[in-house]
Amino acid sequence: MSAGQPRRSTSNKVVRFALVGLVNTGIDLTAFFALLELAVPALAANVGAWFVAVLFSFVANRLWSFERDPGIRLHHSFLRFVSLGALISLGVSSLSIAALAGAVGVWPAKIIGVVVAAVLNFLAARWSIEGRIVK
């Protein structure tokens, strides 16, 4: 954010993050579907889809949703974002697939994991890009 621009409110960041998240979810689900169609096992397809989606998510959130902390170098911000994304998004969605797919099916399990991870991802993204979680 340049010096002359006012800081975005948290609610503005939440809305922007949600919009990026909607597009990102579409990318994730599309890649997941494509990999399943190529006969990739569900958990491996989840990892591949997550990787494609996390690249888009980092760029979009860094450029549009959050105010970048100039003290956090790009590669450090990316490593934070991907590391936390792996623990949260990939971990929650993979756990959801592993635990729930047998009971509710692969797609409902995937969607449950995506929804649960969304809130945690907002906090993680804010920390990795802005260097803070609150305020």
Residues 5, 12: Cα–Cα separation, whole Å: 14
- Which of 132, 129, 118, 133 is CA-nearest to residue 19? 118
Length of the chain: 135
Q: Residue 134 CB: number of other CB atoms within 10 A?
A: 7
pTM more than 0.85:
no
| Sign of the torsion angle spanned by Cα atoms 51, 122, 26, 109 | positive
Question: pLDDT truncated to tens, each residue of the chain (135 aa)?
Answer: 445 556 778 888 889 989 998 998 899 999 999 999 999 999 999 899 988 998 999 999 888 888 888 888 999 988 888 887 777 878 898 899 999 999 999 999 988 998 888 878 888 877 877 776 655
